[in-house]
Amino acid sequence: MQNIDPIREPYICRKLAVQIENQGNSIEALKLFERALLNDPLPEHETKFNIKEHNTICYAGIARASIRNGNTHRGLSIANELGTSKDDPSMNSMLIEIGNTFEQVKQYNEAAQIYEKSGLVEKAATLYIQTGQFKNADKLIPKITSPSILTNIAKAKEAEGLYKEAEAVYEKANNYESIIRLNLDVLDNFQKAKMTFKQKSQTPH
């Protein structure tokens, strides 16, 4: 990078890192993202661009490139240190990109953690269920509206013998058939099954 204004070099390195990353060369992209970091910015840098935003983009790039290079621990550590949308409106999209990267390399538990942090709770819950992390999916129930995801969580609870908890999640999912079946076959509550059937019959389809 000869004959480049040293004040603009970090910005140019960052832009080049993104291009190289998109071409699939994560090793070189990582080097450029690291080179672009402004740990000791000069006053001239302050006038050229937003240093906090610049460094955040670089750290997100370092996380993605590290994951692709096999250093998932570093990628997760950086992602956990990044803020949330409360700190920066663009943060969630960066976290989602990191989550996508984890998913691409089949690190589903890590992907779920980052999706949860980004606010994609239903995607996080789906991956938690997929990896058998039912307790992690459990805590997201209040934020989940998808009947299919709720039903999957309820089925997992049922498989563990937690029938009353399963019933509560089936109710949140409006899965009347499963509520009726559970009360007839397991909970021995004919009246609840009868009441649920009546409620189902009155619900518009």
Average pLDDT for consecutive 10-residue bins of the chain (205 residues)?
74 95 96 92 76 93 98 96 76 94 97 95 95 92 96 93 95 95 93 88 68
Assigned domain for 178 exists: yes
Do the beta carbons of residue 176 and residue 200 sit within 8 Å?
A: yes
Q: pTM for this one?
A: 0.86
* pLDDT reported for residue 35: 95
Assigned domain for 38 exists: no
- Count the domains in the chain: 1
Nearest-angstrom CA–CA distance, 159 and 154: 9
Nearest-angstrom CA–CA distance, 157 and 163: 7
* pLDDT reported for residue 57: 94
Nearest-angstrom CA–CA distance, 193 and 4: 75
Nearest-angstrom CA–CA distance, 172 and 73: 36
* pLDDT reported for residue 5: 76
* pLDDT reported for residue 139: 94
Assigned domain for 154 exists: yes
* pLDDT reported for residue 181: 95
Give Cβ neighbours of residue 148 (< 8 Å, ≥ 6 apart): 173
Assigned domain for 156 exists: yes
Assigned domain for 2 exists: no
User: For residue 198, what are the domain limits?
Assistant: 145-205
Question: If residue 17 lies in a helix (H) or strand (E), which one and from where to where?
Answer: helix 9-22
Assigned domain for 189 exists: yes
**3-state DSSP assignment of residue 173:** coil
